[in-house]
Amino acid sequence: MRYFLDTEHIDDGERFELISIAVVCEDGREYYAAVEGYDPSAVTPWIEEHVLPKLPPLGDPRWKSRRQIRDDLADFVIGDEIEFWTMCAWSDWSLVVRLFGRFEDTPDSWPMACWDLWQLEAELGLTRDDRLREPDGVHNALIDARYHKRIYESLRRLPAARSE
């Protein structure tokens, strides 16, 4: 079962912190959460302009603790032969693993690595110019995770599992 990831996160060179996360399954299920209690002092101008306006309003139930997000992901990401996919995998994957602690602390059925759409594009001889056009609303993790799923489907020439 393939799962497509995206995170929005702070990386100011020292702090590397999850702000929001989305996981979209190839079967059409979707998960999204924003992280309660992320460090606002670490927010960069770029994050302030591009990411914060796309987070849920305060009080929205999609704001969750890191512990809740971890438990939700363990329940959500299930199935046989699980694969994670994202774009520029190192950052998203590191942040997912950190929700659990160490690599060894992620669920036993999960793989140790996340596949990278950039690498798949490169192996196919494609560049960023060949990529599907970005949807409106990028830098919202759910929109980006759906986009990653569509990129994968286009690279593998799979019919879209569901329309948006």
Nearer to Mg ion, 16 or 78 (CB): 16
Nearer to Mg ion, 102 or 133 (CB): 133
Report CA dihedral (39, 16, 112, 96) to the nearest 10 degrees: 30
Distance CA 82, CA 109 (A): 7
Distance CA 28, CA 49 (A): 30
Contacts of 26 (CB under 8 A, 6+ apart): 1, 2, 3, 4, 149, 161
**Residues in touch with Mg ion (CB under 5 A):** 6, 144
Q: How many residues does the chain have?
A: 164
Nearer to Mg ion, 116 or 144 (CB): 144
Shortest Cβ distance from residue 125 to Mg ion (Å)?
25
Shortest Cβ distance from residue 150 to Mg ion (Å)?
14
Nearer to Mg ion, 86 or 108 (CB): 86
Shortest Cβ distance from residue 80 to Mg ion (Å)?
28
Shortest Cβ distance from residue 22 to Mg ion (Å)?
8
CB-based closest residue to Mg ion: 144
